[in-house]
Amino acid sequence: MEAGAPGGRDRRGWERVLGKGGWIGLGWAEGGYGNRRATLTQQVVWAEEYARSGAPPRSGHIGENLLAPTLIAHGTDEQKARFLPPIAAGNELWCQGYSEPGAGSDLASVRTRADLGADGYRITGQKIWTSLAHEADWCFVLARTEPGSRRHHGLSFLLVPMDQPGRVEVRPIRQLTGTSDFNEVFFDGAHARAEHVVGRAGDGWRVAMSLLGFERGVSTLAQQIGFAAELGRVVRTAVDTGAAEDPVVRERLVRQWAELRTMRWHALRTLGGAGDAGAPSVAKLLWGGWHQRLGELAMAVRGAEAGVGPADWSPTAPYELDAAQHLFLFSRADTVYGGSDQIQRDIIAGRVLGLPREPKG
């Protein structure tokens, strides 16, 4: 896509178009910080129609769908007034500073430190797999603010500006696809104001877990519209190549369709619900494995052609992938990022089934 086109390099411009049209912050009834009032059903309709139209991928969804609900639930009036309007206008983009090299799915092991001084907090540490950090204006960071604390105690949820030369460094991580949507972020004395702690200092674990609960809901239904479009392309390819004549392939296609319907009904059943500790983990297990299997199927229905790129390979230029190849390679990470399958099963075992925790050495 050409630079300047929506979804190309001018993704920030597209966010501002959405904000100007009143399409960011639907349903933020409290305080009038959003653009439009919308019921949950109306939010679902908007999200699904946006996905169905083939509109550009969003770069403001982390601020809109994760941080904003967290601020509405836990933030001060001053924090809401400062941060919600720029999100609704598409003027400020956010990234999520949770995972670290030694604390990915085990989030309670974070070691990034934030020391309180006269001018606020000074943050030192490293975050990894930070989506869209190279575009973000701000990062919400889970950091340890109580020296000597362990696990989920002594953590705070901090709002940190990214434009701090020499104190915040973003390094892109090149993926199998050749793209760099994820990043490493290094904090070397980065500054965060004391009044930009969400919730109380030391209470960051509760706020962080609340935010993770917002990852399910309306956005998962929109995600499934995209999944359905991808499945449709795989089915058409199977018909065109003759792979659909194979009964094993037909069985795999039907299974993908049936599982996608199951995911939709699960999302609708849990939509807007509260107190279902296992719902986000079940949803992640369902879609992560499903999408990964779809990528494998997209290669299988093409046969040997699946190994040939859309352009001649050159040692001096980035390799190119078609949509199916990108789907296959990118989806290898689906069962890892956002909490690995193993961690999701542990959550379900402990919080839903009440099974004892595995002893830690």
Task: Cite the active site residues.
Answer: 215
What are the φ/ψ torsions at residue 113 (nearest 5 degrees)? -110, 145
Sign of torsion, CA 9 10 14 16? Answer: positive
DSSP 3-state of 58: coil
Nearest residue to 68 via CA among 55, 82, 51:
82
Both tokens assigned to 289: 């494995």
Determine the Cα–Cα distance for residues 328 and 287; give it in Å rounded to an integer.
14
The total number of residues written for the chain in this structure: 361
Long-range contacts of 276-281 (CB under 8 A, 24+ apart): 277/347, 277/351, 277/352, 278/347, 278/348, 278/351, 278/352, 279/216, 280/212, 280/213, 280/215, 280/216, 281/339, 281/344, 281/345, 281/347, 281/348
